């Protein structure tokens, strides 16, 4: 079964840059698009990156996504961190079924 | 503006069947490629995809839960219904519905979610 693995938590200071990884368990992560969702406490997920590196309208360009085939992983990078970025982030892809990563808690302190 | 909203019981007993309704607006489930999916999240845990129904009535289920799930749609009412049989306390979770987008297989936007507790 295809799985996506994320670090449980990351932390960084305001104004800095943080990268969250999402590693595919098998096959090629580049075979299907990867999305990233932000979930603030008590709220539903919202999309910050779709189709590997596309930003929905309204999402600031501080958010970017990429794929690294050599490590079979996707990454979400947030630059110029703000306290409002503190949230859980989930990667998601498709392998005959919709698959979510375990989520990464981002702390901005 | 696209919106989705989940409705259903907040408390069900073990062994009972859960029925949840997703009522949406701003898009049509008769549009080619579009789907509506259900995703759940146990308290403090990760998201888990459950099921999705496409505009053409094609239905997809999580392999681990397939025997317990049924998804249907009523296009005229803009509603999608998910039933889950034989509920157990481990099924306690917030259940979300979301529009499923083609090609890239992603969900956007999501409903606000509804917390379902399974307890006797």
pLDDT for A57-84, tens place per residue? Answer: 999 999 999 999 999 999 999 999 999 9
- Among candidate residues B46, B40, B20, the one with its CA nearest the CA of residue B94: B40
Q: Do A93 and B105 touch (CB under 8 A)?
A: yes
State residue A26's pLDDT score. 83
Q: Predicted confidence band at A1 (pLDDT cuts at 50, 70, 90)?
A: confident
CB A71 within 8 A of CB A23: yes
Q: How far does chain A reach from its first CA to its final CA, in angstroms?
A: 36
Nearest CB to B49; choose among A37, A46, A98: A98
What gap in Å lies between CA B53 and CA B60, rounded to an integer? 6
Instruction: Give the closest of B52, B106, B112 to A92, CB-based.
Output: B106
Q: Which residues of B are less than 8 Å from A44 in CB distance?
A: 96, 110-113
Q: What is the pLDDT of residue B104?
A: 79
pLDDT (tens digit per residue) in A32-62: 899 999 999 999 999 999 999 999 999 999 9
Question: Distance between CA B16 and CA B9 in Å, rounded?
Answer: 11
- Ranges of residues in chain B whose predicted pLDDT is under 70: none
- Report d(CA B83, CA B54) in Å as an integer: 17
Q: Are strands B114-118 and B11-12 parallel, antiparallel or unpaired?
A: parallel
Alpha-carbon span B50 to B68, nearest angstrom: 10
Shortest distance between the Cα of A43 and any Cα of chain B, in A, equals: 7
Give the pLDDT score at B11.
98
Taking an 8 Å cut-off on Cβ atoms, the answer to whether A35 and B110 are in contact is: no
Contact between chains at B96 and A44 (C-beta distance less than 8 A): yes
Q: SS3 for B15?
A: coil
Q: What is the pLDDT of residues B85-102, one digit of tens each?
A: 999 999 999 999 999 997
Confidence of residue A106 (pLDDT cuts 50, 70, 90): very high
Residue A30 has pLDDT above 90, yes or no: no
- Contact across the interface for A44 and B39, Cβ inside 8 Å: no
Going by pLDDT thresholds of 50, 70 and 90, the confidence category of residue A27 is confident
């Amino acid at each position: 079964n295809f799985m996506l693995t994320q670090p449980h938590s990351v932390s960084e200071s305001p104004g800095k840059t943080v990268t969250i990884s999402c590693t595919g368990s098998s096959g090629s992560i580049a075979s299907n698009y990867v999305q990233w969702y932000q979930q603030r406490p008590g709220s539903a997920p919202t999309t910050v990156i779709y189709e590997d590196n596309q930003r929905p309208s309204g999402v600031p360009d501080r958010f970017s996504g990429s794929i690294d085939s050599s490590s079979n992983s996707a990454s979400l990078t947030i630059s110029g961190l703000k306290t409002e970025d503190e949230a859980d982030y989930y990667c998601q892809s498709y392998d005959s079924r919709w698959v979510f990563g375990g989520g990464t808690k981002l702390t901005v302190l | 503006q696209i919106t989705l909203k989940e409705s259903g019981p907040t408390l069900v007993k073990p062994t009972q069947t859960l029925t949840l309704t997703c009522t949406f607006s701003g898009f049509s489930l008769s549009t080619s490629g579009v789907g509506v999916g259900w995703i759940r999240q146990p308290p403090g845990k990760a998201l888990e995809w459950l099921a999705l129904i496409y505009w053409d009535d094609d239905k997809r289920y999580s392999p681990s839960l397939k025997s317990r799930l049924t998804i249907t749609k009523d296009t005229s009412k803009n509603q999608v219904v998910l039933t889950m049989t034989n509920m157990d306390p481990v099924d306690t979770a917030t259940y979300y519905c979301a529009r499923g987008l083609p090609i890239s297989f992603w969900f956007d936007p999501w409903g606000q979610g509804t917390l379902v507790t399974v307890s006797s």
